[in-house]
Amino acid sequence: MRSLIAFSLATALFSSVHAAENLTAETGPPGGSIHLALLHLAEVAAENDIANIQVAASQTLTNSVQNVAEGKTDIAGAPYILPFLLSAGRGPYSKLGAETGAELASNLRALYPYTIGVFALYAYDSKGLKGWNDLEGKKIYNGPPRGAALSNARSIIQLATGLQDGSGYQGVQANWGQAVKTITDGSADAILLPVLFPDNRITQALASGNITVWSTPKDKFESEAFQKYLNAPGSAPYTIPTVDARLGQGVTVLSEDSTFRGLATIGGDVVNKSMSFDIAKALTKAHIDTLEQLRIKAPFAQQAGYGIVDVKKSGMCGPNPLKYHAGAVAAWEEAGYVIDDCAKP
């Protein structure tokens, strides 16, 4: 009888250790690197009996990041500018104040990074635009009515041309859901938005005509002011051979040389620091072990920064207060990757 009880207890303990966790997650809209990363994680976590992740897509990530920090959601996609703004109680978190914001931000930990998009200037060939030096007086679609994308686009144009929205050119704003319509309806002469290679918005817009895409001018990109901005929280320098900057038939990619340059918006999937070491490690390991699987799931995934943990390219350290979860660090290091001390908790 004793041995039967002992066997039952051991079986129950084994089952509880190996039972999949039930987790909640929030991510962005379909068609981007944020959405793809978390849906892939949910798939491989279930396959490996790590966790059952209920994913809510097309969420407002400003709220999602706060939900993770407050322990209301287990995992969220996070443009890295958001933990920084939260830590300072600024921007969309200004009502929280600096003290509460900093306390909440200290609860956030990253599992892995990715590139959300790379800012590029583009226009229909029918507009006759000649590039960055031809923007004065033009109408430029530069993002949604508010948020990091609009701020980045305005800053990039000013750094590259000296022009300001409202005086040097007329900014056109529309929500992400109206992006393709705004591009195709001709209300803007040019567009400055983050792209992937290939890019879903450009692919759809090609139905209305051929498009030219311009790299950030090399001299501007390498200037002290631009380099400083490239290292702002949530941003990173991005370069790719122009032959690899594939955006589809009907798109011409122009650069002074064989390299496409731009400011990349960087993010990652984040969790609360209270997540157990074992679960965070198992989730991160599942991501790492299936990186090749992930990279073939969408045409843009090869250039989306999956598996790149280099400090500069992944947007960690410096002014970014976000650190990796200890379990994530263990998974990356056991897989042979180098995680800098400044990114460790």
Mean pLDDT of successive 10-residue stretches along the chain, which has 345 residues: 38 45 93 94 97 93 95 96 94 93 98 96 96 97 85 93 96 90 95 93 95 97 94 91 92 95 96 98 98 95 94 91 98 98 97
Please give the domain boundaries of the chain with CATH numbers for all domains. 20-115+267-343 (3.40.190.10), 117-265 (3.40.190.10)
- At 109 the pLDDT is 98
Distance between CA atoms of residues 340 and 345, nearest Å: 11
Residues 6+ apart with CB under 8 A from 307: 112, 288, 291
Q: Are 24 and 75 in contact (CB under 8 A)?
A: yes
Q: Are 192 and 119 in contact (CB under 8 A)?
A: yes
Phi and psi, residue 137, nearest 5°: 80, 0
Phi and psi, residue 241, nearest 5°: -55, 135
Phi and psi, residue 22, nearest 5°: -100, 115
Tokens of 224: 């002290």
- At 92 the pLDDT is 86
- At 30 the pLDDT is 87
Buried b (16+ CB within 10 A) or exposed e, 104-130: bbbbbbbbbbbbbbbbbbbbbeebebe
Q: Label the pairing between strands 108-124 and 75-79.
A: unpaired
Tokens of 5: 């009880």
- The amino acid occupying position 208 is S
Q: Are 28 and 59 in contact (CB under 8 A)?
A: yes
Strand partners, 123: 212
Q: Are 172 and 188 in contact (CB under 8 A)?
A: yes
Terminal CA-CA length for the chain: 48
**Three-state SS for 29?**
coil
Residue written as tokens 């990114």? 343
Q: Are 237 and 287 in contact (CB under 8 A)?
A: no
- At 19 the pLDDT is 61
Classify residue 20 by its DSSP letter.
P
Our CA angle for 212, 215, 216, nearest 5°, is 135
